[in-house]
Structure 1
Amino acid sequence: MTTGPVLFTDRLLLRLPEPQDLDSWAEMAADPETMRFLGGARGREEAWRDFALRRGAWDVRGFSMFSVIERATGAWVGRIGPWQPEGWPGTEVGWGVHPAFARRGYAHEAAFACIDFAFDLLGWDDVIHTIAPENTRSIALAERLGSRDRGPVALPPPLDDLAVHAWGQTAAEWRARRR
């Protein structure tokens, strides 16, 4: 069913979300700790709408978050990738990982590939990650990717009540570090 880009890393395959991903997507969405900084835990119906939104953004924008698949097992790991809905404060590469796959370095591996994709194939000049100041794990990942805190930004409704900072870097900064 996938009709779009497919990225490969050492351990992961990144492809468009497909219907068979929904069960794992909904499990992740229902986990309060995982979703603490991603708008809160959601039931299956809301998870389906988020899933459909991310898949549909591929048609509308030409990019969106990828479903991240563990190559060794075929298991759904999470959703990571480029993201910029209407009113977003910048061109973002964001992440969310199923709790069963947390702390394995998968978010870094996939985000790294997605930043390359955003700069090299989408032609972006800048990438941000919108992160709550108390989300220490995502801040550590952003720092490991080379991003720095640019300060508070406002998200569009219905997320406008969330306090987040934009962590980011330019394409030139990314490429200079890659050399």
Structure 2
Amino acid sequence: MTEIRIETERLTLRPPRMEDFPRWAEFQADPDATRFIGGPKTPAETWRIMATVAGAWSLTGESFFSVLEKTTDRWLGRIGPWRPHGWPGPEVGWSLHPDATGRGYALEAAAAAIDYAFDVLGWDEVVHTIDLDNTASIRLAERLGSTLRGPTRLPEPFADLPVHLWGQTRADWGRNRLALAG
């Protein structure tokens, strides 16, 4: 299988590799960076999370991309399309290493991942499940043109998390992508 590789102006998106582990483990150990995705994890827990993401690529052909800075190949985060069992819809989700925030990387990578979801995977919609207090992710969803669809429920073991569903259709993205580019 040829490796999937997406390039944007500043970023490379590709499925995860073991060389991503050190920075991924730093990210997963940070309490602020992981506040809305289950909290800090040990290196052993992070390894299992990475293996899950890589396994989803193998089993379904979709999952989080590792996001790399083009000029340095430095791992910046994980962003991409996936559909966990029991999830409220096909999601494009995002999480960045703390030193990669505030530079527009999430917007650039999320837009490329949404393009991939619609153009390659053939999805009809994308959703984002966002904690009610996660203002940074809410702002990103709004910048991408997604709209609030209301409260939703995640499957176990996340069923008690207070999340809202944000999303947009393929037709919406056609308009919103043009607005982002312009």
TM-score (norm 2): 0.95
Shift of residue 3 of structure 1? 4.2
RMSD over equivalenced CA pairs, Å: 1.1
Aligned counterpart, 1:46: 45
Kindly provide the CA deviation profile for residues 115-149 of structure 1, in whole angstroms up to 9, marking residues without a partner as x: 00000110000000110111000000000000011
Aligned counterpart, 1:96: 95
CA distance in 1 between counterparts of 2:77 and 2:2 reads 19
Shift of residue 163 of structure 1? 1.0
CA distance in 1 between counterparts of 2:152 and 2:4 reads 30
Aligned counterpart, 2:110: 111
SS of alignment partner, residue 10 of structure 1: coil
Shift of residue 176 of structure 1? 2.3
Provide the aligned length of Structure 1 versus Structure 2: 178
Amino acid of the structure 2 residue aligned with 1:77 = L
Contact 1:3-1:16 at 8 Å conserved across structures: no
CA distance in 1 between counterparts of 2:154 and 2:63 reads 17
Amino acid of the structure 2 residue aligned with 1:45 = A
Kindly provide the CA deviation profile for residues 27-74 of structure 1, in whole angstroms up to 9, marking residues without a partner as x: 100000000001111111111111000011001111110000000111
Kindly provide the CA deviation profile for residues 61-110 of structure 1, in whole angstroms up to 9, marking residues without a partner as x: 11110000000111000000001111111000000000011111000000
CA distance in 2 between counterparts of 1:61 and 1:149 reads 27
Aligned counterpart, 2:6: 7
CA distance in 1 between counterparts of 2:86 and 2:62 reads 16
SS of alignment partner, residue 79 of structure 2: strand
Matches within 5 A, 1:70-81: 70-81=69-80
Contact 2:147-2:168 at 8 Å conserved across structures: yes
CA distance in 2 between counterparts of 1:4 and 1:129 reads 25
Counting aligned pairs with the same residue, the percent is: 56
SS of alignment partner, residue 26 of structure 2: helix
Contact 2:144-2:176 at 8 Å conserved across structures: no
Identify unmatched segments of 5+ residues in structure 1.
none
CA distance in 2 between counterparts of 1:177 and 1:138 reads 17
Identify unmatched segments of 5+ residues in structure 2.
none
CA distance in 1 between counterparts of 2:175 and 2:143 reads 15
